[in-house]
């Protein structure tokens, strides 16, 4: 009757030690994933850079892991930049991304030595020019471009189509970029695209690369010394057993060879290739542990288990129908697998998993939901005034808190009462 293990640790023991709901992250898996991407590029002989997409999972300890691996950080907000600063992360290895940046945020990035800014729009460029003029400071930038490529993924996580809030329209990009590079403090060093998330087919990635290389060539022909193409991330991982997934480590050498051939045919310099994996590096490195509080059978209809978390700590099923697998962690004398709907405790329908095959779940058992390392903690909310769970990091046989559990006092700490209500 052995309990379920995660990254070499007894999950029931982790739940007893740290409480539930609990995010658990494996440093060993994260480092292995980072090293595998490095190896794929190095064996392909490419000039490359890996930017960890911090939006997937960011905190001070995670920034220290990224720093120690020698890769860059893709930050999309002042808060993510400040988190990296608190970790002592080198500012020149931060790529400041995101849409609709404020002038004050751009100024903060420049004053604190952020190495690269990805400009998302003409209006953002105007703000950046004004800030660089005020500070009399030079900056290296890339432009995000929407290549008009449709990736076969959920419509809410497609980001590279023609109709998108992100980036410059492909047809307008060249003129805007050439004009920007003529500004006194602006150096355009590359172009960027990101076509979506959880993509399992290499065809749209190659199509996007083709379009970006054509744009790269056109801009260079107009006198701009572009040196890099950032092809984003979005590499799909298997959330469920049998899911299609993107074979990232096989794709990288194909991508390098494809770009090398095209550049040779067109007699243009091979650019540095940049990728932004987030989910690929951390998703399968994470799990969430819950305590089962209710087991309910509606005769002839369905069986339910309800846990002490839900859409607060994992909003993805509610946002776009994301699917997960779960397992009862407590050892059982026998196996009797039956379908259960796994429900959260928020005052909504709050279905975490519509139908999970579980082995004799009982009140008090620990339930583990797999593959929750990406976009779970980072999207967590305080709906119904439930505190955000703790995050525990596993490394070898060690475990320690990397984010403290939020207290109920924390929930109240920013409330204020106007004078007329006192």
For residue range 382-393, list pLDDT tens digits in order.
999 999 999 999
Least Cα distance to 314 among 404, 364, 245, 378 occurs for 378
- Give Cα separations from 216 to 188, 270, 388 (angstroms): 11, 10, 44
What is the tens place of the pLDDT at every residue in 365-404? 999 999 999 999 999 999 999 999 999 999 999 999 999 9
348 is in an annotated binding site: yes
Return the pLDDT at 207: 87
Pair 248, 280: CB distance under 8 Å: yes
Distance CA 396, CA 391 (A): 16
pTM recorded for the entire structure: 0.93
At 159 the pLDDT is 44
- Which pLDDT score, from 0 to 100, does residue 152 have? 47
Cβ proximity of 330 and 5 under 8 Å: no
Task: From the candidates 63, 263, 329, 347, give the one annotated as an active-site residue.
Answer: 347
Is residue 238 packed enough to be buried (19+ CB in 10 Å), middle (13-18) or exposed (0-12)? middle
Cis peptide bond N-terminal to 21, omega within 30: yes
Question: Of 206, 195, 112, nearest to 150 (Cα)?
Answer: 195
Which phi and psi (to 5°) does residue 27 adopt?
A: -65, -35
- Give Cα 346 to chain centroid, integer Å: 25
What is the model's pLDDT at position 204? Answer: 82
CATH number of the 27-282 domain: 3.20.20.10
Contacts of 122 (CB under 8 A, 6+ apart): 168, 176
Q: What residues form DSSP beta bridges with 324?
A: none
Confidence at residue 364, expressed as pLDDT on a 0 to 100 scale? 98
pLDDT of residue 161: 52
* Kind of pairing between the strands at 272-275 and 48-53: parallel
Ramachandran angles phi, psi of 395, nearest 5°: -145, 110
Which residues, including other chains, have CB under 8 Å from residue 16's CB and lie 6 or more apart? none
Question: Exposed/middle/buried for 395, CB within 10 Å: 0-12, 13-18, 19+?
Answer: middle
Residue 324 among known ligand-binding residues: no
Nearest Cα to Cα of residue 306 among 25, 17, 21, 22: 21
- Chunk the chain into consecutive blocks of 10 residues (it has 422) and report each block's average pLDDT, rounded to whole numbers: 96 98 98 94 95 97 98 97 98 95 97 97 96 97 87 43 79 95 96 85 85 95 95 86 82 91 94 94 97 97 97 95 96 95 96 97 98 97 97 98 97 96 96
Distance of alpha carbon 170 from alpha carbon 354, whole angstroms: 40
* DSSP E strand stretches across 168-242: 168-169, 186-192, 228-230
Q: Is 277 assigned to a binding site?
A: yes
Q: Which of helix, strand or coil describes residue 57? A: coil
**Cα 90 to the center of its chain, rounded Å:** 20
5-23+284-408 placed in CATH 3.90.780.10: no
pLDDT score, position 141: 98
Q: Is 375 annotated as a binding residue?
A: yes
Q: Is 193 a catalytic residue?
A: no
Q: Is 340 annotated as a binding residue?
A: no
| Extents of the domains making up the chain | 5-23+284-408, 27-282
């Amino acid at each position: 009757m052995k309990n379920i293990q995660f990254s070499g640790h007894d999950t029931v023991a982790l739940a007893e030690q740290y409480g539930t709901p609990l995010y658990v992250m494996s440093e060993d898996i994260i480092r292995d994933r980072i090293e595998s991407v490095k190896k794929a590029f190095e064996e392909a002989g490419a000039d490359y850079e890996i930017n960890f997409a911090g939006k997937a999972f960011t905190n001070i300890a995670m920034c220290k892991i990224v720093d120690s691996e020698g890769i860059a950080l893709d930050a999309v907000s002042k808060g993510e930049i400040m988190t990296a600063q608190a970790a002592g992360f080198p500012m020149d290895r931060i790529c400041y991304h995101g849409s609709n940046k404020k002038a004050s945020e751009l100024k903060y990035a420049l004053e604190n030595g952020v190495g690269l800014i990805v400009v998302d729009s003409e209006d953002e460029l105007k703000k950046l020019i004004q800030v660089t003029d005020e500070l009399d400071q030079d900056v290296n930038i890339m432009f995000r471009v929407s290549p008009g490529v449709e990736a076969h993924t959920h419509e809410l996580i497609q980001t590279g189509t023609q109709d998108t809030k992100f980036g410059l329209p492909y047809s307008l990009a060249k003129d805007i970029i050439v004009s920007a590079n003529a500004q006194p403090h602006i150096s355009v060093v590359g172009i960027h695209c990101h076509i979506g998330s959880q993509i399992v087919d290499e065809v749209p990635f190659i199509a996007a690369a083709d379009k970006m290389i054509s744009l790269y060539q056109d801009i260079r022909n107009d006198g701009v010394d572009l040196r890099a193409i950032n092809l984003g991330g979005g590499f799909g991982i298997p959330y469920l057993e049998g899911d299609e997934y993107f074979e990232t480590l096989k794709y990288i050498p194909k991508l390098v060879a494809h770009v090398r051939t095209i550049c040779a045919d067109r007699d243009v310099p091979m650019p540095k290739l940049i990728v932004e994996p987030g989910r690929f590096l951390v998703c399968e490195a994470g799990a969430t542990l819950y305590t089962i509080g209710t087991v309910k059978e509606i005769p002839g209809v369905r069986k339910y288990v309800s846990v002490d978390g839900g859409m607060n700590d994992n909003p993805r099923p509610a946002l776009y129908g994301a699917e997960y697998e779960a397992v009862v962690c407590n050892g059982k004398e026998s196996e009797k697998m039956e379908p259960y709907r796994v429900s959260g405790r928020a005052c909504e329908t709050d279905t975490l998993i519509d139908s999970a095959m579980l082995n004799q779940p009982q009140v008090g058992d620990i339930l583990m939901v797999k593959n929750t390392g990406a976009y779970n903690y980072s999207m967590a909310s305080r709906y119904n005034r439930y505190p955000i769970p703790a995050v525990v990091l596993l490394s070898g046989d060690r475990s320690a808190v990397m984010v403290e559990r939020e207290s109920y006092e924390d929930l109240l700490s920013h409330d204020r009462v106007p004078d007329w209500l006192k």
